[in-house]
């Protein structure tokens, strides 16, 4: 059975590292110049400031997915908290069921309870999951372009 929870960085970090590496190997671009190297100190600072929100999916205690957001007041709309997706991942062997759906729904519920107005999720064009997000009621509102500078 898969259980969903909101966890602290200390609760999730050690279990997340193997999944983070799998995630990096699967979707990261420009690996020849950008290494896997999370800034754990900055994550801790965001958490201390109350901005970091970590949602997890565990099967029999084993981490199989995570959804991490930064929830902060928007610079243009200070009366609203926007929950910006930092990273989202479900281990490939758990993608056929509803683990991703349930993780996002769980995070949505918790973020709403914590005062968030808007939740934003980034999707890599080479690994899209747009159909899932559209079924969950998300709208495609923006695109991001990237250019390698080195």
Predicted confidence (pLDDT) per residue in 5-42, tens digit: 999 999 999 999 999 999 999 999 999 999 999 999 99
pLDDT in tens, 68-89: 999 999 999 999 999 999 999 9
What confidence score (pLDDT) does residue 91 get?
97
What Å distances lie between residue 111 and 12, 85, 115, 142, CA to CA? Answer: 18, 12, 6, 21
Average pLDDT over residues 39-66: 98
What confidence score (pLDDT) does residue 93 get?
96
What confidence score (pLDDT) does residue 120 get?
98
Q: What is the mean pLDDT of the chain?
A: 97
Domains along the chain with CATH numbers: 2-135 (3.40.630.30)
Q: Find out whether 115 and 79 touch, Cβ atoms under 8 Å.
A: no
CA geometry: angle 70, 27, 116, nearest 5 deg: 20
Average pLDDT over residues 87-106: 96
């Amino acid at each position: 059975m898969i259980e969903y929870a909101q966890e602290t960085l200390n609760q999730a970090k050690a279990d997340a590292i193997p999944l983070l590496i799998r995630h990096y190997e699967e979707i990261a671009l420009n690996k020849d110049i950008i290494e896997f190297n999370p800034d754990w100190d900055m994550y801790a600072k965001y958490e201390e400031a109350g901005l970091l929100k970590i949602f997890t999916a565990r099967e029999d205690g084993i981490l199989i997915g995570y959804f991490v957001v930064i929830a902060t007041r928007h610079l243009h709309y200070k009366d609203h908290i926007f929950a910006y997706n930092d990273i989202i991942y479900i281990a490939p062997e758990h993608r056929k069921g509803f683990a991703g759906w349930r993780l996002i729904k769980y995070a949505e519920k918790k973020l709403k309870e914590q005062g968030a107005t808007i939740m934003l999720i980034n999707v890599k064009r080479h690994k899209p999951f747009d159909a899932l997000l559209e079924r969950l009621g998300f709208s495609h509102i923006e695109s991001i372009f990237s250019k390698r500078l080195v």
